[in-house]
Structure 1
Amino acid sequence: MRTDAVPLPIPPARTPADLPAETPARTPARTPADLPAETPARTPARTPADLPAETPARTPAGAPVGAQAAAPAAPAGQARVLTLTGDALTPADVAALARRTLRPAVDATARDRVAGARDAALRATARKRVYGHTTGVGANRTTDVPASAADAFGMNLLRSHSGGIGPVVPDEQARAMLAVRLNQLLGAGSALGLDVVDRIADALASGHVPTLHAYGAVGTADLSALGELGLTLAGELPWSGGDPWTPPPAPVVLTHWDALPLMSSSALTIGQTALAATDLARLLDRLPLVAALTLTAVRGSAESYAAQVHARRPHPGATRLAARMRTLLADADWEAPLVQDPFGLRCLPQVHGAALEAAEALDRILGVELNAAAENPLLDADGLDYHHHGGFHQAGLALAGDQFRLALLGTAQLSTARLGVLVEPAFTGLAPYLAADVHGSSGIMITEYAAQSALAELRAFAQPVTLGHAVLSRGVEEHASFASTGARRLLDSVEPFRLVLACELLAAVRALRLRGLAPSGDGELRAFYDHADSVLDPTVADRNLTGAVTAAADLLTA
């Protein structure tokens, strides 16, 4: 954080409690307490008490794109400042900015860096041909663009590339794109105008978003979405949403210095991935609590989590998960009735540990991409030169996303396996399906079907996008990562994963109640159980369980 940041208007925000927490291994969101004392003082909130609520997020039509309803905005004064410098943004920061629990400020030194890049660009283009500035793009890279036509060419580039199709991207995801692109541009890898940077910052602060369409990228830059942003900045397309008391950003005149650099990024893909990774980190952190309740309910064995086991096969994720389970079960006071438990309990470190490692691998990729000045061509202001390259290709992000979605599927499969254990009398000593023991009651039988249905969605979303291939632009762009598709599939995975875990949580709490058991001691597991016990309806008679599963799912993100 810097003291010379340029503060922006305060947006309404959700309360900090609404932002999902992260696993210990991942970088947590910067809470108000983490902000240094020198953070610029907030300007007084300009929100009259009788102003209407924030414009609701748009509901996407057609095929799912991972949309989730936006939470109501909190009073403006509750949002704290995050200063963007171009080199320190985290996935949790993106989520906080997109969900408006933090408001952006632009680092003054970074602004100066952007402002100073134009002179270097002028010198570089005076002595060499530069893609997208003095030439056409794609297969038209051999066509020279005269200086007299350069600015018109830039606007036409935005118009021609802005033709995205399909459902409208939800506002939260559009704000995530703005946050990512703003931070990347502060790295000054191009000669884009400072006024463009300021307008994007204004939009992020006020909540205004461009109308973006989901389909138009193949993992080699989000051309259509960023083209739509460019036309919105220029005033050719309208802004949407935003604070009702704040006008949308004023139109800005875009030149050839702005057009290609603005689009030379996968900011939407990266932002969507950051949102999903942040939400899934919270669920991955909760899963051991749910599994520990299941193990407690069936009096399972903790030998699978022994330090000696994992010292001899020290995979980081499995070792960390086993240590967490030992802590949660430290007060366990029973003798396990079985020599070995089913895989859902016994192989938890290996399967869930792999998911933790996949999450960390994705987080490392995101840490680079969020702070990358990767425009093609890339301006080297110190060397007064441009470098043509392929840094826009998101092969790494696509592969990391594929790995993470496949790992999520595995750990969700184990959750459904544990649910199967909980409804089986041989493991609990209770009636089948944890039913009231009267006349063939079905108990929670339907949760098995529901969990398997949600699991089928995860299985579909886990299909690796990197199996795709495309040859485009008259054969000169002959590979694609499809990271953009992977990002949407990762967002789509959040809710079914949460619901699978919720079904297990509901069953574990019910089994513990019916057996008259509770976790021993007064540690984290007991606190989690007591909270769940206070929230979940104790009725065991046959009834509709939709609300019960929903309540359990809410506990996982509380």
Structure 2
Amino acid sequence: MKLDPTNIDLATLRRLWAGADASLGDRAMQRVAEAAASVDRIVAGGETVYGVNTGFGLLASTRIPDERLAELQTNLILSHSAGLGEPLPRHVTRLMIILKLLGLGRGHSGVRPLVIEALEALLEHDAMPQIPAQGSVGASGDLAPLAHLIAALMGKGRIDVRGDVLAADEALRRLGMQPLQLGPKEGLALINGTQASAAIALDALFASERVFAAAIAAGALSVDALKGSVKPFDPRISDLRGQPGQIRVAAALRDLLDGSEIVESHTRCGKVQDPYSFRCQPQVMGAALDLLENAARTLTIEAGAVTDNPIVFPDEDTAISGGNFHAQPVAFAADIITMAMCEVGSLSERRTAVLIDPKMSGLPPFLTNDSGVNSGLMIPQVTAAALVSENKSLAFPASVDSIPTSAGQEDHVSMAPIAGRKATQIARNAAGVIAVELIAGAQGIDCHSPLKTSGKLQAVHDKVREHSPHLVSDRYWAEEMAALQSAVLAGELFTLPLEAA
């Protein structure tokens, strides 16, 4: 698709994350050319501009002669290619490249069109530079990750070409690409920016969107398995509070449970209240939904933002040094994703614990009819508890930390990439917790046969059974739990799209 950096929405970002083709539109390319021409005029005029003809960071007062400007930009990329750790996943690197195109395409960075074409060629050939995940503190830009991206275009490092990892210079030859030679300001424009942090955070957001939707489906399934009350989901209750997420979650639960024979079978029972993990789903899950949608708003704005430094204003041939590279908005967004998904997993595990406890649920112990000889879902619940505990350890916000860098010039940083990586791990862990609840909920529904659940929950039940058959006696659990966790992460159970408006 042709991208307009001035008009990016969450749905477009979701498609790009899922693998849609991407290149800049004609108007964006025109803006790129105009900004590059402005940089040429600034250099020719002899004005001293940070990062164009000066050193960087604490060396900003050092003027660089015109004949060494290309060397300055090359050395910048090489010296900043200092990351460590496993490479970012290919799809995250791809999204990072797209976000860089969007930022450059606003026409305030000063790179030449040929730089855009080089980045687009990586996307076209599915050639993803191997970018170490660690090394950025999320301020002064994602310096190390973005430097590794650009170093690959210069023939340094390694590139994964459709699964074949090659030395970058060899990969460029195979793809028919020439090593990139940087012009004035281009190195700084390319490594300043929040695109690594934002790509990691968006990856966490879209994974969380799927996990959250599966948790709503699992929660409804568990309500039916428990023969729980649907009265707490009455719209009048949520309307009186007015929280938008709560209203939306209550409606989703009502819709999923509508038409259940199991619900109808106990409408006049003497049971008064269910445990909070069942009854308060609209309140807890709704609050989590509000957080996720707030993060979505921030990250949608950031995706089309100009976040490098200095920022070029072509109409005036000026370049102003500022701080748009500071990723604090992204760090906060990633941390609230972390908080939300930590609670989603915690609530899910509590429902599983209720379902396997005969005193709480009235169902067979550990959801097996031959308990004692069989342990049933005893240990899958333990695994869920372990994942929830791990998430609690990961949930401390990275955004409240800061370590001064660059000899104190960069004295406050955001830690946004760390926040994003934690959010991704927490979402994955939560998917595992929900996989266990889905198994428990489906087993509980089976215990009420011949009564049937609703049509929509039966579809969820059928999807669970594709990966995890009805439990008759103890069996090897790990593979089907992992398969169901993958189904949750793939969005196969239920959809409830986030809104960023």
Higher helix share: 2
Contact 1:428 1:511 (8 Å CA) reproduced: no
Matched position secondary structure for 1:256 = coil
Matched position secondary structure for 2:175 = coil
Please name the residue that 2:400 is paired with: 467
Please name the residue that 1:328 is paired with: 256
Aligned length in residues? 475
Q: Does 1:233 align with 2:153?
A: yes
Q: Which amino acid aligns with 1:313?
A: R
Please name the residue that 1:503 is paired with: 436
> Following TM superposition, by how much is the alpha carbon of 1:140 offset from its aligned partner in structure 2, in angstroms?
0.8
> Which structure 2 residues correspond to residues 504-519 of structure 1 after superposition, within 5 A?
504-516=437-449, 519=452
RMSD (Å), alpha carbons: 2.1
Please name the residue that 2:472 is paired with: 540
Gaps of 5+ in 2: 165-170, 493-501
Question: Aligned to 1:188, which of 86, 96, 107?
Answer: 107
Contact 1:94 1:271 (8 Å CA) reproduced: no
| Cα distance change on mapping 1:255 and 1:124 into 2, 3 Å | closer
Q: Does 1:222 align with 2:142?
A: yes
Tell me how far apart the structure 2 counterparts of residues 85 and 264 of structure 1 sit (CA, whole Å): 21
Matched position secondary structure for 1:379 = strand
Tell me how far apart the structure 2 counterparts of residues 243 and 461 of structure 1 sit (CA, whole Å): 31
| Cα distance change on mapping 1:474 and 1:297 into 2, 3 Å | same
> Following TM superposition, by how much is the alpha carbon of 1:517 offset from its aligned partner in structure 2, in angstroms?
5.4
Q: How much identity, in percent, do the aligned residues show?
A: 27
Matched position secondary structure for 1:103 = coil
Please name the residue that 2:499 is paired with: none
Q: Which amino acid aligns with 2:52?
A: H
Contact 2:125 2:161 (8 Å CA) reproduced: no
Q: Does 1:402 align with 2:322?
A: no
Deviations 1:438-485 (A, max 9, x none): 545311101111101111222222120022111122222110110010
> Following TM superposition, by how much is the alpha carbon of 1:92 offset from its aligned partner in structure 2, in angstroms?
5.7
Q: Does 1:389 align with 2:285?
A: no
Tell me how far apart the structure 1 counterparts of residues 152 and 343 of structure 2 sit (CA, whole Å): 42
Tell me how far apart the structure 1 counterparts of residues 153 and 426 of structure 2 sit (CA, whole Å): 32
Tell me how far apart the structure 2 counterparts of residues 323 and 514 of structure 1 sit (CA, whole Å): 26
Please name the residue that 2:384 is paired with: 451
Question: Aligned to 2:207, which of 279, 284, 291?
Answer: 279
| Cα distance change on mapping 1:255 and 1:122 into 2, 3 Å | closer
> Which structure 2 residues correspond to residues 60-209 of structure 1 after superposition, within 5 A?
82-90=1-9, 93-94=12-13, 96-97=15-16, 100=19, 102-125=20-43, 126=45, 128-209=47-128
Matched position secondary structure for 1:149 = helix
Tell me how far apart the structure 2 counterparts of residues 517 and 347 of structure 1 sit (CA, whole Å): 29
> Following TM superposition, by how much is the alpha carbon of 1:325 offset from its aligned partner in structure 2, in angstroms?
1.2
Please name the residue that 2:347 is paired with: 414
Q: Which amino acid aligns with 2:88?
A: V
Contact 1:91 1:278 (8 Å CA) reproduced: no
Please name the residue that 1:10 is paired with: none
Q: Which amino acid aligns with 1:276?
A: A
Matched position secondary structure for 1:489 = helix
Contact 1:193 1:257 (8 Å CA) reproduced: no
Question: Aligned to 1:338, which of 260, 271, 277?
Answer: 271
Please name the residue that 1:20 is paired with: none
Question: Aligned to 2:280, which of 338, 347, 358?
Answer: 347
Deviates more, 1:370-379 or 1:540-549: 540-549
Q: Does 1:296 align with 2:224?
A: yes
Please name the residue that 1:62 is paired with: none
Tell me how far apart the structure 1 counterparts of residues 468 and 156 of structure 2 sit (CA, whole Å): 51
Tell me how far apart the structure 1 counterparts of residues 464 and 417 of structure 2 sit (CA, whole Å): 37
Please name the residue that 1:253 is paired with: 181
Please name the residue that 2:495 is paired with: none
| Cα distance change on mapping 1:543 and 1:521 into 2, 3 Å | closer
> Which structure 2 residues correspond to residues 308-319 of structure 1 after superposition, within 5 A?
308-319=236-247
Q: Which amino acid aligns with 2:161?
A: G
> Following TM superposition, by how much is the alpha carbon of 1:339 offset from its aligned partner in structure 2, in angstroms?
1.0
Please name the residue that 1:527 is paired with: 459
Deviations 1:219-239 (A, max 9, x none): 111101111222221223443
Tell me how far apart the structure 1 counterparts of residues 466 and 406 of structure 2 sit (CA, whole Å): 59
Contact 2:342 2:426 (8 Å CA) reproduced: no
| Cα distance change on mapping 1:475 and 1:525 into 2, 3 Å | same
Q: Which amino acid aligns with 1:229?
A: L
Q: Which amino acid aligns with 1:114?
A: V
Matched position secondary structure for 2:312 = strand
| Cα distance change on mapping 1:96 and 1:251 into 2, 3 Å | farther
Tell me how far apart the structure 2 counterparts of residues 289 and 337 of structure 1 sit (CA, whole Å): 26
| Cα distance change on mapping 1:397 and 1:518 into 2, 3 Å | farther
Tell me how far apart the structure 2 counterparts of residues 418 and 373 of structure 1 sit (CA, whole Å): 44
Tell me how far apart the structure 1 counterparts of residues 404 and 54 of structure 2 sit (CA, whole Å): 22
Matched position secondary structure for 2:60 = helix
Tell me how far apart the structure 1 counterparts of residues 390 and 21 of structure 2 sit (CA, whole Å): 35
Tell me how far apart the structure 2 counterparts of residues 151 and 409 of structure 1 sit (CA, whole Å): 47
| Cα distance change on mapping 1:328 and 1:307 into 2, 3 Å | same
Structure with bigger RCO (C-alpha 8 Å, 6+ apart): 2
> Following TM superposition, by how much is the alpha carbon of 1:509 offset from its aligned partner in structure 2, in angstroms?
0.5
Tell me how far apart the structure 2 counterparts of residues 145 and 477 of structure 1 sit (CA, whole Å): 21
Deviations 1:372-430 (A, max 9, x none): 12221111112321121111111111112112211211121111110011011134323
Contact 1:270 1:369 (8 Å CA) reproduced: yes
Tell me how far apart the structure 2 counterparts of residues 547 and 237 of structure 1 sit (CA, whole Å): 36
Contact 1:297 1:517 (8 Å CA) reproduced: no
Tell me how far apart the structure 2 counterparts of residues 190 and 248 of structure 1 sit (CA, whole Å): 27
Contact 1:242 1:248 (8 Å CA) reproduced: no
> Following TM superposition, by how much is the alpha carbon of 1:518 offset from its aligned partner in structure 2, in angstroms?
5.3
Contact 1:296 1:519 (8 Å CA) reproduced: no
Matched position secondary structure for 1:365 = helix
Question: Aligned to 2:129, which of 210, 216, 219?
Answer: 210
Runs of 4+ in structure 1 over 6 Å off: 243-246
Deviations 1:484-531 (A, max 9, x none): 101111121232111100100000111111231555443x22322233
- TM-score between the two structures when normalised by the length of structure 1: 0.81
Tell me how far apart the structure 1 counterparts of residues 91 and 302 of structure 2 sit (CA, whole Å): 19
Q: Which amino acid aligns with 2:144?
A: S
